Amino acid sequence: MLRKFILVASVFATSLAYAMPSITFEEVDLPSLQTSAQSVVLFIDDAETLKGTAKQVDELTDGRLAQALTESEFSASLGATEVFFAMTPFSRITVIGTGTEPLNAPQLQDLGGYAAAALPTGAVGQPRLIADSLPTSVQLPQAYIAMGASLRDYHFDKYKKTESQTEPRRLVIHGAESESASALYNNDLRHVVEGVYLTRDMASEPGKSIYPQAFVEHVVDLFDDVRNVDIDVLDVRDMQKLNMGALLGVGKGSVHDSRLLVISYQGADKKQAPIALVGKGITFDTGGISLKSNNNMWQMKSDLAGAAAVAGTLLAIAKRGENVNVVGLMPLSENMPAQDAIRPGDVLTTMQGTTIEIISTDAEGRLILSDAVRYAQDKYAPRMLVNIATLTGSAARALSDEYAAVITRDWALSEKMMEIGNVSGEHVWPLPLHPNHFTQIKSDIADIKNSGAGNPGASIGAAVIGTFVDESLPWVHLDIAGVDWLSSSIPVAPAGSQGWGVRFMDQIVREYK
Ligand code: BES
Ligand code: MN
Ligand code: ZN
């Protein structure tokens, strides 16, 4: 097997497309604010009675801030935003409502996101966010506000003229226990944001420059100085030896060979069975011979979002040195139509031995995942397996942008995943897996077929993958086709690839370590 020592210059800029904002943490110190702050951001739960530093800021403006809040009928509901200019001594006061309920971590991230969205982009000035007197249930809320601001402050503008590219911002967040907040952000949460950036970069990158080997090289590069990480790259010959006919079949029509990238992170005792994260990495999905229509086909450059989220999660976990063993597997193929591409009606033999009749070459994600999950179990004997994929339009139609679909064999596990969604800020909603879904993928000429006749497309896709997952193993299937790409911004992400799954899988690892 190829080890990580393939020193080939990457085909696209290996640095992150956009540097993270630089954020510093300071105590609340009014005199220094007064002299240095041009631009302040205040979080307010009640416009009528300003508290803490907000109250002092108002006094500095001779009560004009309070008056302006009344005149503008500022509601102070969560996310409500108002900007006031030239209220001497401040050039700009941005007021953001918090609501009155105690804020949890995702809500604090949203607040940071609202702040980043309301401030001018680029490295203009050094806005100061005042995070005292917040209604919150969380220790060190500033760290989560910083995380949210960083998540929102992402731009994929590497293909724009240099003059139009955005500089990273510089923010200062004022609040109590600033040193601990800084440690929490810099030693932990910041790495999760780095993972999300990695994922967004990969999913935004045009298919022309990110094919399987390019994905591998980019990731190998990013993990270069990360400790306790081992990287394996299976090439076509390795996969042929393992009889991975499904994974190899999908890539056959492409001039770019398939790969299976495996990142193992060992943060706990060798004897601890790992958690396996397996992500769909179709570097471009044309549909193959079952060619897609032109409508939005360009978005299929992000059909590797599952694999990218696995890489991003591994980066976050390894950089913050979590005390756990995790293995990430990323099957990578490009799904192209060509004279040697697989055809509808073809039969592929998987590593497991199970044969699959191809009904649609566009149902390719489940094919590469079938071999990858089998390999994950045989080689790494995980104690839990999570797979993540932009798998079906069906999941997107059912749940849209709000929820990723979660499918398990066990209702308690689905409930646990919903809880993890609430804690991480990335929400999931269960879809079923019924014995009929397995019946529907029986094939006349092979063991199974890759798509059924019925409507529950997300469940059918899960049934195909489930055929390759041992029933005794806790298994979580995440279909992110709907949440992967945002047509408009949300508090913690601009429009485009949102890097869904890094925060979610990071939280799984925190809870199952
Ligand atoms: N990558 C697509 C799913 C997708 C659709 C992701 C829209 C993001 C947005 C997947 O490979 C696919 O083509 N699925 C087919 C399956 C069908 C042929 C059984 C689908 O959902 O239509
Ligand atoms: Mn497809
Ligand atoms: Zn696809």
Q: Using pLDDT thresholds of 50, 70 and 90, give the confidence band for residue 4.
A: very low
Please tell me the predicted confidence (pLDDT) of residue 452. Answer: 83
Q: Which CATH number fits domain 22-176: 3.20.20.10, 3.40.220.10, 1.10.1060.10, 3.40.50.1820?
A: 3.40.220.10
Mean pLDDT of 151-180: 93
Instruction: At 83, list the tokens.
Output: 């900007």
pLDDT exceeds cutoff 50 at 405: yes
Q: Using pLDDT thresholds of 50, 70 and 90, give the confidence band for residue 19.
A: confident
Neighbours of ion ligand 2 (CB under 5 A): 285, 362, 364
Please tell me the predicted confidence (pLDDT) of residue 6. Answer: 45
Q: Where are the domains of the chain?
A: 22-176, 193-512
Examine domains 22-176 and 193-512 and report if their fold is the same. no
Cα–ligand 2 centroid distance for 137 (angstroms): 43
Residues annotated catalytic, as ranges: 292, 366
d(CA 77, CA 81): 9
d(CA 69, CA 50): 10
Cα–ligand 2 centroid distance for 204 (angstroms): 18
Please tell me the predicted confidence (pLDDT) of residue 31. Answer: 72
Q: Using pLDDT thresholds of 50, 70 and 90, give the confidence band for residue 165.
A: confident
CA-nearest residue, atom 13 of ligand 1 = 362
pTM recorded for the entire structure = 0.96
Interval 260-309: pLDDT, tens: 999 999 999 999 999 999 999 999 999 999 999 999 999 999 999 999 99
193-512 CATH: 3.40.630.10
Q: Using pLDDT thresholds of 50, 70 and 90, give the confidence band for residue 124.
A: confident
| Top mutation candidate among 392, 479, 486 for ligand 1, by most atoms within 8 Å of CB | 392
Burial class of residue 381, CB neighbours in 10 A (0-12, 13-18, 19+): exposed
Q: Using pLDDT thresholds of 50, 70 and 90, give the confidence band for residue 37.
A: low
Task: Measure the CA angle with vertex 315, ends 216 and 170; round to 5°.
Answer: 115
Dihedral of CA atoms 468, 471, 475, 478 in degrees, nearest 10, equals 50
Ligand 1 environment, Cβ below 6 A = 285, 303, 360, 362-365, 390-394, 396, 451, 457, 481
Over the chain, what is the mean pLDDT? 94
pLDDT exceeds cutoff 80 at 34: no
Please tell me the predicted confidence (pLDDT) of residue 16. Answer: 52
Interval 415-473: pLDDT, tens: 999 999 999 999 999 999 999 999 999 999 999 999 987 789 999 999 999 999 999 99
Mean pLDDT of 57-62: 94
